[in-house]
Amino acid sequence: MAGVETQVQQQVSAFRDDFQRLRTEIGKMIVGHPDVVEGVLVCLFASGHALLEGVPGLGKTLLIRTLAQALQLDFNRIQFTPDLMPADIIGTNIITEDPQTGRRGFQFQRGPIFAQMVLADEINRATPKTQSALLEAMQEHAITSGGTRYPLTEPFFVMATQNPIEQEGTYPLPEAQLDRFFFKLIVGYSDRAELTTIIERTTSGYQPDVRPVLDGARIVAGQDLVRRIVIAPHVQDYAVRLVLATHPNGAFATPTVNKYVRWGSSPRGAQAITLAAKIYALLDGRYNVSFDDVRKAALPALRHRLLLNFEGEAEGLSTDFVLNDLLGLVPTAADKAA
């Protein structure tokens, strides 16, 4: 038993070291945004996908490209545009001819989705038809074409960026697409010190040396470790009640939810909170999940899974406002009568 405990301690220590090494490499290029960097890495080790939202020029694409440099994984970038077609993403069957027999047949030509890391840049510039080409890949880690199923190489990680202020020539992501993303991370403006460092780095010939520090096998091992972390029933129930509280007119709904929310979170929200909370526990050197871990994971896991009603949109509210109110009202201890 002592040997098993020692082995687990070593695995947890290695996980924390790997996480920190990735943070360090990303920090060579990205200034500030520690919560966003941590959120992207949480998505990676939770075997989820990340959606980054922010105005142009804040380093969203740079962050993802830097992460790709720090990982020994196949990487493809897809620039989403209004004329992009599903076949441009997943691939298509083409006619080929055998040079020896002259016989013709169809052969599947793989698209850029066949990579371990995929950057969907400005994903909301493509039509919903093209956006839907990612649905199967993100959920099943596989592609079906011409009746044949093609599994994707693990780990498979999709990161997407979108601009929240430009509406012309953009298409809002459907709820089914948004629900596939593990976290939605908001990239904000840099502060005075961070902006000063950015200017110094980008106008002085600064050449960061970002080196690959992890390979696919190490990432998959970390993903397996995360799922073995224990979450107590009462802590898991807290995560469940947080998700149920987003359902208007439900048993756990708050007054704000009933007034401003049209649709609440799917079960994927509870799954995301639980897995992310396990990672936060690991990073803190613990083998069990706390209430604080759950609370920390709730906002990025749920903000894109709530749909405000007309009244909420008319008053200019955000889902973050609703969720912060909810976190202040839902108790950690469950009512036994419920």
Which pLDDT tens digit goes with each residue over 308-334? Answer: 999 999 998 999 999 999 999 999 876
For domain 1-228, give the fold.
Answer: Rossmann fold (3.40.50)
- Local confidence band at 337 (pLDDT 50, 70, 90 cut-offs): very low
What's the mean pLDDT in 252-275?
A: 93
Q: Is the pLDDT of residue 13 over 50?
A: yes
Q: Comparing C-alpha atoms, which of 296, 305, 185 is closest to residue 257?
A: 305
Least trusted range by pLDDT, from 2-11, 83-92, 246-255, 317-326: 2-11
What's the mean pLDDT in 102-129?
A: 85
- Local confidence band at 3 (pLDDT 50, 70, 90 cut-offs): low
CA neighbours closer than 13 Å in the CB half-sphere of residue 80: 30
CATH 3.40.50.300 residue spans of the chain:
1-228
Cα angle 81, 85, 88 (rounded to 5 degrees) comes to 95
Check residue 256 and give its pLDDT: 94
> Quick one: angle between helices 267-283 and 233-244, nearest 10?
140
Q: Comparing C-alpha atoms, which of 27, 68, 64, 38 is closest to residue 197?
A: 27
Q: What is the CATH number of domain 230-338?
A: 1.10.8.80
Q: What letter represents residue 136's amino acid? A: E
More reliable by pLDDT, 245 or 336: 245
Q: Is the pLDDT of residue 12 over 80?
A: yes
Check residue 338 and give its pLDDT: 45
Share of the chain above pLDDT 90, in %: 40
Q: Is the pLDDT of residue 1 over 60?
A: no
What's the mean pLDDT in 301-312?
A: 93
Q: Is the pLDDT of residue 223 over 70?
A: yes
Tell me the pLDDT of the chain averaged across its residues: 87
More reliable by pLDDT, 190 or 6: 190
Between β-strands 50-53 and 183-186, what pairing exists: parallel, antiparallel or unpaired? parallel
CATH 1.10.8.80 residue spans of the chain:
230-338
